[in-house]
Amino acid sequence: MHYSIVKDVLNLLEKFEIENESCVYSSDIEGFKTWLCASESSVDKKENEPYWEGKENGRSPESVISTSLVHLNRYAKSYSKSAIWNSNFATQEDFIYLITLKTFGEMTKMELIKKNIHEKPAGMLIINRLIKLGWIEQKESEKDKRTKVINITDSGRDSLENQMSRIRTATNIVAGNLNHSEKMELIRILEKLEKFHHPIFSRHLESRNLIDTISSEYSFLKN
């Protein structure tokens, strides 16, 4: 038996467990194979790394990613603002909350807020505004009379539908000139980031402890 090969495989498995602390990949052979393919792919692509501003001065890829995500969010907000111009929608969150209720059905206020990655105070302001407009309503849950749920009203559906053409156009603009293959790859990458960040967000750690706590829990952040 080639024990050196066994040793190499064990080293790879150890590396897989360390890098998969956030459970991006399933903890089985299929997850290991997917991780291995992704790792090999990233190695092959190192020779074709893109250039970014400040790279020669030591600017890290993490800095570029963080800045780009902030910029893209601002671009998206500007298009959304144009999409709801001269309508009763105050912000993009208004139609995002309505779309969420239309897509997933009735839910509690906190379920809606959490689904849209908002803090409770900000989410409640949006919900109260939509209730005041008559676009959503609150009622007793048919499953549990002790629980209140909210759902989109006919008026909310009509208001959303009247604006959907412009909202879809804004969404298409955000995706820019990416081709289908690039969109699929971006979705995979963004979903990987979502799977990492959402459990952290759901813990509701205090801001003063957030960075120190997460840094101590993930070994790859200590490098």
Residue 206 exposure: Cα atoms within 13 Å on the Cβ side: 2
Among 134, 185, 179, 197, which Cα is nearest to 160's?
134
Give the dihedral sign, CA 76/77/82/84.
positive
Q: What is 145-204 written as a DSSP string?
A: TT-EEEEE-HHHHHHHHHHHHHHHHHHHHHHTT--HHHHHHHHHHHHHHHHHHHHHHHTT
Residue 7 pLDDT grade (very low, low, confident, very high; cuts 50, 70, 90): confident
Residue 214: both structure tokens together: 């997460």
pLDDT at position 18 is 82
Neighbours of 48 (CB within 10 A): 6
Residue 222 pLDDT grade (very low, low, confident, very high; cuts 50, 70, 90): low
Place of tokens 């952040």: 221
pLDDT at position 41 is 63
The predicted model gives 105-114 an average pLDDT of: 94
- DSSP helix/strand/coil, 136: strand
Residue 22 has pLDDT above 70, yes or no: no
Between 43 and 217, residue with greater pLDDT: 217
Q: What is the pTM of this model?
A: 0.72
Kindly report the backbone phi and psi dihedral angles of residue 130, in degrees, each rounded to the nearest multiple of 5, phi listed first. Answer: -70, -35
Mean pLDDT across the chain: 88
Give CA 36 to chain center in angstroms: 24
The string of pLDDT tens digits covering residues 51-94 is: 889 988 999 999 999 999 999 999 999 999 999 999 999 999 99
Kindly report the backbone phi and psi dihedral angles of residue 129, in degrees, each rounded to the nearest multiple of 5, phi listed first. Answer: -65, -40
Between 122 and 26, residue with greater pLDDT: 122
Q: Which helix (H) or strand (E) holds 95?
A: helix 92-104
Burial 131-146 (b: 16+ CB within 10 A, else e): bebebbbeeeeeeeee
Residue 27 pLDDT grade (very low, low, confident, very high; cuts 50, 70, 90): confident
Q: 113: burial class by Cβ within 10 Å (0-12, 13-18, 19+)?
A: buried
Query: Does residue 156 contact residue 164 with C-beta atoms inside 8 Å?
Result: no
pLDDT at position 194 is 92
The string of pLDDT tens digits covering residues 30-61 is: 878 887 877 766 555 556 788 889 988 999 99
Burial 161-176 (b: 16+ CB within 10 A, else e): eebeebbeebeeebee
Among 153, 175, 158, 162, which Cα is nearest to 86's?
162
pLDDT at position 67 is 96
Residue 143 pLDDT grade (very low, low, confident, very high; cuts 50, 70, 90): confident
The string of pLDDT tens digits covering residues 144-173 is: 778 899 999 999 999 999 999 999 999 999
- DSSP helix/strand/coil, 140: strand
pLDDT at position 43 is 53
